[in-house]
Amino acid sequence: MDEQESALLQALRLKVEQLEKACADKDREIALLSLRREQQAEMLDKLAYINEELEAQVRELQASRWRRIGRRLRLAKPASFEK
C-alpha cells in the first residue's frame, strides 16, 4: 500500500468517525424530543381533566336554583362567563 492509499484510508476513517458522532448526536436529540413530546402529552391530559372539572362546576353553578334567584334579586354578581 502506498502513501496515497494510506492517506485516503485515514481520511475515510476520519469521515466514518465524524458520521458516527453525528449519528449519536441525532439519536440523543431524537430521544430528548420524544421525552418532551411525552411530557407535553401528559400535560395535555392533565389540562383536559382540569377543564372537564371546571366545565362541570360551571354547569352546576348555572343550574343552581339559588344562584338564579340571587341573580334575579341582584344579590349575586354575574360570573365572568355570564357576561
Locate the domains of the chain by residue range.
Answer: 3-82
Give the separation between CA 30 and CA 46, rounded to whole angstroms: 24
Q: What is the mean pLDDT of residues 29-58?
A: 96
Place of cell 392533565: 46
pLDDT > 70 fraction of the chain, expressed in percent and rounded: 98
Task: Report how far residue 16's alpha carbon sits from residue 11's, in angstroms, rounded to the nearest whole number.
Answer: 9
Contact criterion met (CB below 8 Å) for 45 and 39: no
Report the range of poorest mean pLDDT among 15-19, 20-24, 73-77. 73-77
> Could you tell me the pTM of the whole model?
0.57
Alpha-carbon distance 83 to 41, whole Å? Answer: 33
Please tell me the number of Cα atoms within 13 Å of 73 on its side-chain side: 8
Question: CA Rg, the chain, in Å?
Answer: 32
